[in-house]
Structure 1
């Protein structure tokens, strides 16, 4: 249940702290005072669209915090645990901040949350019935949603949705394959030719880098022989003035002077090391020189393979070193196309099976809807009779047709049929019911369906519009009865409804000429009498209206 609501700088509210209790709570006030401000603030807190107009003029941000007390096994508690957003106790605290620049932030139990998460959690905490709910009542999609909500067959709905998605995806694949069949055949022929060409060349992964290096070495073997021979002579083998000999000469002379000046020691050491390095280099060069072979036949073969690889790479618009990878990719694509051609018959069979599974799931859902529609119709008739419509007839027709177009929610069409006067044939609601009758039918449906919801808190925003007199007292009685199993918060202008509440809040608006502010006050029993008297008689409160208000409250 909703236990607390804290509102800061929201619309015309500067600061409000409201404590709610179990049972039925009525919110009353003069027209234009902002009786729905708490519901609007709660809606923002639970994921409604953030608008800069909600930020109070002159403030940098609006803030709403809603605290809920949950049972450990409630759907909301399970959702919080699933998303690792649970608190240490059984409370759930949701906070939303909207800045004057339009930026929005949200938290659930102190953890940062997305607006999407708020919207997922919201229906598990609160179910809000708006004052314009009756205007939706003539829409077929809304009528279907009412039946599904009453039936509580979420598993059947999910089964139909899953079956539909599978059937849809398979039909999409089937259509795509059919549209692309000629393209696939052409692509298959091209790939077969390209793969055969590359199969014949049979370049392996990493081979091009090896043969390219070998080709460069073979093509430059004469120069390598000449340059390595020159270097060997210059360093060691030359008869006159080779580097090693010159270093040894210099080293001998400097070593002879070490006794004279030890400062030559570092240079001597470096020359010794240089002599060793030159000897090592000479050995390596001699070995390298001996390994070089000039093989014209090998050079020709390497040249042909490298040239062919470059031509094929250019033809396939890839780098030569990527030709082997490209070959493998073409081979894989060719195999996939071949598999697709083989799997066409299997896909046709899968589509047929998926269609059958969908129709079976839709039929089960339709049966559940028909059963629920019959029960709901009977309950609505009883409620309509209580709401001063003694001759009312109401029927929910569920039209099921296996040949109807498939949708994610089945193939049924739901129609609300009503007759409100004796002798009047039962017809579609939009053709028969007046505005006031629609309001009462809508209220009856909302109260009945709300009692089947697992949502702990139900909020009604002036759903009693168009209701008055004895009917209003029945409305209040229905809402109070609902308050025995759920927390009910009702914004109302009817004293007969407000008097049935377990607690009552009064909304007032004040202005100093420069700014306007809305307040919400919890009323004592004596204050409730005054407020109910105002609702009964207007601004002039007499002893008669007060007596009437006290009688209402006592009843």
Structure 2
């Protein structure tokens, strides 16, 4: 709901701050007072084209800020803000601000966060509907008619959407499999050769690192073999160092009893024998580990070079060759059993398409039934609004298969015929602005709470009518205001008397500067304004009495 509007330096408006309440709010004033400027200002905040001509003469820029109640969770506005990275705190009011410079260009803000004019237009269409001479949107857009009819008839589109997505997913799987089979068939010879080659070679993940490590170890052994042999000879044989140490220890052991200090020498020799024995063991282990077979080394190098060559050939890492072989083998298998697989997928697509068609046809029947009820409801509203010669219908027409969608296979559009014998045409084709506004009012009353913006603005909906028709318009606007905030620019006292709040738009001049202002009327001022609307330039006692009767009656 619109709660406030702040305008600065827009044409004749120097500074204006307005507060709005719920229910039906009316705006009145003499012709030329500036009602269109007020609507243009609001339109600017809601994303209308930024015209530098709106900037008040002599000022550098104009600005408009519109404040709305905090958007509800799940409301389209909430989704728009989230999609565009605009953060507002829960319960925080939504403030849309637009600045237009006199030398061209504009800036837009949502809660002081910069945004695009396109986002303002999307937010504006979700927050406010303006109907009349200046802004023909909302119900006139056929793209929204289907959703309105579904809401009115409580038509459940969930089953149709589920069937549609299942059908399209099956169709996508079929298309992918068909493309895969066709591609694989073109590459049959290559795949056959590649799979045979990789199967014979039998690469394994991690094999390259294993071969490279073994090859490096054997190459190192080749370099160290002569030195190891020389060192080993120092240990082995009867003349080797270890044998000499053992022989010395045995001789010393026989004489140590005769001279006590030799015990320490014998202990040292024993330790040397033990250490030398361990060294000999480690030396033998190293020699065994570094031993190499020239034939084995050659085989390892050949395998390693071939492995890397295959990897370069197929443009993958050596460790990925095994997976590549399996992938190519799967493609070959797809060629072998491709036709049987495609037949199964085609059967699945046909079954899911039939399920979608059945669900969509059931939805179409619900829509046609709802359309009949809506047509009758709108027809009941036309005569009191002086549209008794007009006819309304809701078209539910089948679309081409390529146009079928999650919402079904129907095109839904509201059409009217304004005169007997005249053909039906879209709502937007109506020539008369007042007639158009009354038609939209009839539709809004019939649709009641079925979606749309929370705030509805009707601009001179009573143009060219009076008496009972104006009273009927006022009654219907009042009825709509139970569920929506309604603002109406009116010249009709019957409509003005219905308002929960009343604002007077007036133009003043000090001889050099002309300004437009808006004044919220008290109860007494309101009676005087309605009396003016009844009598014209000179307010008579009879007009005041009639104004009093209108207000008391309502």
**Equivalent-residue separation in structure 2 for 1:190 and 1:374 (angstroms):** 64
Aligned to 2:407: 409
Aligned to 1:66: 68
CA pair 122-375 structure 1, distance change in 2 beyond 3 A: same
8 A contact 1:476–1:500 mirrored in 2: yes
**How far does residue 304 in structure 1 lie from its aligned partner after superposition?**
1.4
Aligned to 1:131: 132
Indicate the structure (1 or 2) with the bigger Cα radius of gyration. Answer: 2
Aligned to 2:201: 201
Aligned to 1:266: none
Aligned to 1:355: 353
Deviation digits for residues 21-77 of structure 1 (CA, Å, limit 9, x no counterpart): 3321112345472557479648847xx57969699964697644323597xxx9659
Matches within 5 A, 1:40-439: 41=42, 44=45, 48=47, 58=60, 63-67=65-69, 91=91, 93-97=93-97, 104-107=108-111, 126=127, 128-131=129-132, 141=143, 144-153=146-155, 155-156=156-157, 158-175=158-175, 177-178=177-178, 181-187=181-187, 190-219=190-219, 221-225=221-225, 288=286, 291-320=289-318, 322-324=320-322, 326-327=324-325, 329-330=327-328, 342-399=340-397, 406-414=404-412, 424-425=420-421, 427-429=423-425, 435=432, 437-439=435-437
Aligned to 1:242: none
Which structure 1 segments of 5+ residues have no match?
234-279
**Equivalent-residue separation in structure 2 for 1:542 and 1:96 (angstroms):** 40
**Equivalent-residue separation in structure 2 for 1:491 and 1:482 (angstroms):** 15
Deviation digits for residues 68-114 of structure 1 (CA, Å, limit 9, x no counterpart): 597xxx9659979xx9x9978xx55213355678665535xx99999
**How far does residue 300 in structure 1 lie from its aligned partner after superposition?**
1.6
Aligned-partner SS, 1:427 = coil
**Equivalent-residue separation in structure 1 for 2:329 and 2:422 (angstroms):** 69
**How far does residue 477 in structure 1 lie from its aligned partner after superposition?**
1.6
504, 519, 522: which one pairs with 1:521? 519
Does residue 33 (structure 1) correspond to residue 59 (structure 2)? The answer is: no
8 A contact 1:399–1:413 mirrored in 2: yes
| C-alpha RMSD of matched pairs (Å) | 5.0
8 A contact 2:44–2:98 mirrored in 1: no
Aligned-partner SS, 2:383 = helix
Aligned-partner SS, 2:473 = helix
CA pair 151-92 structure 1, distance change in 2 beyond 3 A: farther
**Equivalent-residue separation in structure 1 for 2:122 and 2:466 (angstroms):** 39
Q: Please report the TM-score for the alignment, with normalisation by the length of structure 2.
A: 0.69
Greater displacement, 165-174 / 53-62 = 53-62
Give the total of aligned pairs: 490
CA pair 138-21 structure 1, distance change in 2 beyond 3 A: closer
**Equivalent-residue separation in structure 2 for 1:546 and 1:341 (angstroms):** 88
Aligned-partner SS, 2:93 = strand
451, 458, 469: which one pairs with 2:466? 469
Aligned-partner SS, 1:197 = helix
8 A contact 1:79–1:121 mirrored in 2: no
8 A contact 1:394–1:419 mirrored in 2: yes
